[in-house]
Structure 1
């Protein structure tokens, strides 16, 4: 390490004076149950799809064949589509860019229909967005974040090999994106990919697992896809899951069906996360959790007016075990259409959804307003789940949730009916945006809350390269129980956060500097299979309380 690298943390530390805490931490309802805040009652559109970008703005969009939204396009622009089922000429926006810091937004122009589409973020921070409905079913769209008002969608019609409606995307270690499945699409393809010389479009690769798991209700749409540390893909559809070696295009392992054999994918609409990968273990364990959903037959039953109770179970599968078997947990209440969001401290919040029915307009009943915090590492079964403060608005079909850099979870969307119908239905279209603040944001935890002051290497994390994170903690004493984590923001749609990922970086030590200042010595991710190249939010967690995040680029 160079002399200047050694001196930087000490120079930074001198800027922060000593602070003594005179009062012990106290308890409050916020510290136990979190709290909700309404950010905007109307963002103009319903949040069917959401993605946080590296400039702390969230791109939000619904579908284009809805009729007039509540926000006009700027500069007199209009979308002209003679085949649109709602409006042939539409001068309203169906995508907005929301600024988290200022709580403001601006309309964006999207031309082709994005209904039930998928996305990933490329290593340079560009969102690549795929598929949809009608004229959008084979489209690719790209959005590159900027720091002025000039960036907007760029579209490439008919660039996918197959129509992709209800597909799932995953960024890969080599920076390509795999697009898996879609309605009646039992195959996958890669982006970018050289065209097949014997065809106008790149070819798709057959994937019989998707055909084997399809049923009359198509409970294998939006399959859960997770990239594992060995570079293979875990893919869960309906009740079954496999390990796919996408490089050799072959299934190398089949896992046991989830106990109970109730479907978990759309339209049953459970959710799933890959739990944090901890580099301090040497070889990180990979464990997947699948929670909630609706029983088999729930969709057909709901269309006849009978709303079946949803599922209260979570299945855990440790994929790095030689012979993985499902371990079942029980949530405090049943839930379908819930979103599972990884929190900076390693916990998982399960938010939005219903306790009866299934996905689809008017197919859900009994909204679950209370998020649940799931603590995967807790051994006491009574402490694994905690019920949080209730939201004021139901979030049912087509709702979303994303983590933002300050540790809050933003939730939006619900039942976006054609023509933005707000009357005459059980649960009308919802255009609001709310923020849930988990308990760790309560003021009681401020004395132990770290603040990131400086990250070496210009906020670049190189693979297996040492990095030094200077941070302060108001409470005077040893900064014990410290970890440094990176989180890849997810593309949230239909109860699944595509590409969501947390890596606990290898910690070589925490050094006390002066006053409130410390620096942590961490090592960049060991492989691109553990952390694909791209932008992540880095958090310092002290005694279970996270800092606000800082953007870093893994490369």
Structure 2
């Protein structure tokens, strides 16, 4: 990407630095670079509001684009010359502090250059929240002398042509801050964290919609979870572009913080409980609308839910919200009739951990997996495991224990091979907070319903992780990222930045590229249709809380790179015989290269839980040159109804961009 522009340049070598407490907040992963000697330029300024005001150390002054005799139209940019190249990994942008929101930056990009002529693709893009708080944006390490922010819009859809900024800082992971340093490219075996996506909310929950957009939400405020009910702040992002939009959802009178999330047989996102404990809201990707559904029998928060083989949604636990004295037994939701039924034969007491915090912590974030015959397997986080039967008023049967493992609250569990019933459980801590996280990992192999599964302890992770997130990949590996070694909500201390990949073929972990921002309490993770992984959020602790991460970042796993670090050529699914099929159907697929295939169900994520995602490896029979017949699994408890991503993988394991497949009810 190249730009040739006439800069309005102002030297600022004699200006004071802004006090550390105001705009040079330092982090373990990034330090503010000294602004001595910087030059700052912009495409436009109003006299008295020159570009130099953005680094003058005075929060009462600010850069503002022209608004006097004429108005300079968007887009606008402001850029700094650091005077020499640094390894950079972030910026902070402080909006004007005079109480006026004119010129707050909304949609924008951040680009870098070492010569001021050739510019990178955006290392960050998105939409900032319109308020006075300082925005901290971190991205993967890169070499730069010049840093440019380009504003495409004013924040929150205000519609004016202005841009403004009180203070700007640039960050470096190089603690010496000596300059003249360069960031080596990450080895292809480590994968790469790509552009950061700035959001107008802290994404404490998210899901892949049936139209392949990502819907994020926080709570009644974009930055705070506590104290409100009746509405939810949301944001939408289409991974195929850079635009991020926001919406305040008031239609359902539901604050959807700390909910259960499941996608039903038609791809409708069913969100239950949370701050408004008994509410149910549903998001229909067909029209992008939220509507109210029937209330649950029990108010809940921090519960988990899962869609079962017949399309109903089962939930259990959740004493964080509503009454905090337990009794959050199972219940089940039927979308077509919009009704909930109590399942008192599925008692929540059997899923309790031994948490020192009491009942309101013991029944949180259950690991639930739909299985054969409309059963639900409970894999944790308690050491005890269980089978739930949803017929009639429900019943349960103990499934033994996860060997001698401690309780793994806020650990991760992924079904990486649903055909053979394999689940990977990793991390977590014995207690929800003030507790030491574990590196332990186990595979759980399901067999017949009501039989104890086979549990095997496998190699441990390199990093202890409570509040981490796991995402299953098309090749069957599981990516685990985020978390911290000491479970301490609303902190980023002891955060694990490197991600890890578990390979079921070797039962081993590989440490891969580090993420730019810590992802701890209230972070999420989702597999995207292009086989990349989205990681976002953390915090939701109020105005000025630096643990609020208003962003997400996209990871390209190692399978998307050649050995020399260049991007691998991806196979292409050219045609499919159908995009809506029942279990047991035969699907014919044409590709451009010899391929194997897998299905991964669309995911949803909050508080370490993603019960929607699972992977189904597929057996394909060649029927001529680059054409295949694939017989889908006939068991609806394996191939759940709803939307799935069909991937083709070439002989090197490189996945295609997914083709959407809807699995129908039997």
Specify the alignment match of 2:663 in structure 1.
554
1:208-244 Cα distance to aligned partner (Å, 9 max, x none): 3535625442243110001124542111242210122
* Mapped pair 1:540 → 2:661: no
SS in 1 for 2:474: coil
Equivalent pair of 1:141/1:155 in contact (CA under 8 Å) = yes
- CA shift in 2, pair 1:452/1:193, >3 Å: closer
SS in 1 for 2:610: strand
Equivalent pair of 2:416/2:422 in contact (CA under 8 Å) = yes
Specify the alignment match of 2:522 in structure 1.
398
User: Residue 319 of structure 1: CA displacement?
Assistant: 2.1
What is the rounded CA distance, in whole Å, between the counterparts of 1:466 and 1:453 in structure 2? 17
Question: Aligned match of 2:616 in 489, 503, 511?
Answer: 503
Question: Aligned match of 2:561 in 442, 457, 481?
Answer: 442
* Mapped pair 1:175 → 2:311: yes
Question: Aligned match of 2:574 in 453, 477, 491?
Answer: 453
Specify the alignment match of 2:606 in structure 1.
493
SS in 1 for 2:553: strand
SS in 2 for 1:351: strand
Question: Aligned match of 1:339 in 440, 463, 469?
Answer: 469
TM-score, scaled relative to structure 2: 0.64
Specify the alignment match of 2:178 in structure 1.
none
- CA shift in 2, pair 1:452/1:360, >3 Å: same
User: Residue 453 of structure 1: CA displacement?
Assistant: 0.8
Question: Aligned match of 2:235 in 79, 92, 96?
Answer: 96
- CA shift in 2, pair 1:207/1:318, >3 Å: same
Specify the alignment match of 1:151 in structure 2.
288
User: Residue 47 of structure 1: CA displacement?
Assistant: 0.8
Structure showing the higher strand proportion among its residues: 2
Specify the alignment match of 2:438 in structure 1.
311
Higher RCO, 1 or 2 (CA under 8 Å, sep at least 6)?
Answer: 1
Specify the alignment match of 1:225 in structure 2.
368
Specify the alignment match of 1:374 in structure 2.
502
Question: Aligned match of 1:108 in 247, 251, 271?
Answer: 247
What is the rounded CA distance, in whole Å, between the counterparts of 1:201 and 1:247 in structure 2? 14
Find the structure with the greater CA-based Rg. Answer: 2
Specify the alignment match of 2:493 in structure 1.
365
Specify the alignment match of 1:7 in structure 2.
none
* Mapped pair 1:39 → 2:176: no
* Mapped pair 1:483 → 2:624: no
Equivalent pair of 2:234/2:247 in contact (CA under 8 Å) = yes
1:296-332 Cα distance to aligned partner (Å, 9 max, x none): 5x72xx3xxxxx5420110212222865442112112
What is the rounded CA distance, in whole Å, between the counterparts of 1:193 and 1:56 in structure 2? 22
Structure showing the higher helix proportion among its residues: 1
Unaligned runs of 5+ in 1: 1-27, 70-83, 278-283, 303-307, 474-478, 513-517
What is the rounded CA distance, in whole Å, between the counterparts of 2:347 and 2:504 in structure 1? 33
Specify the alignment match of 1:18 in structure 2.
none
User: Residue 110 of structure 1: CA displacement?
Assistant: 2.1
Unaligned runs of 5+ in 2: 1-184, 320-325
Aligned residues: 459
Specify the alignment match of 1:412 in structure 2.
536
What is the rounded CA distance, in whole Å, between the counterparts of 2:573 and 2:229 in structure 1? 49
Specify the alignment match of 2:456 in structure 1.
327
- CA shift in 2, pair 1:212/1:351, >3 Å: closer
Equivalent pair of 2:384/2:402 in contact (CA under 8 Å) = yes
Specify the alignment match of 1:210 in structure 2.
349
- CA shift in 2, pair 1:323/1:211, >3 Å: closer
SS in 2 for 1:386: strand
Equivalent pair of 1:259/1:326 in contact (CA under 8 Å) = no
What is the rounded CA distance, in whole Å, between the counterparts of 1:374 and 1:483 in structure 2? 20
What is the rounded CA distance, in whole Å, between the counterparts of 2:536 and 2:663 in structure 1? 29
Specify the alignment match of 1:59 in structure 2.
215
Specify the alignment match of 2:138 in structure 1.
none
Equivalent pair of 2:343/2:390 in contact (CA under 8 Å) = no
SS in 2 for 1:210: helix
CA RMSD between the two structures: 2.7
Equivalent pair of 2:467/2:608 in contact (CA under 8 Å) = yes
- CA shift in 2, pair 1:68/1:226, >3 Å: closer
TM-score, scaled relative to structure 1: 0.77
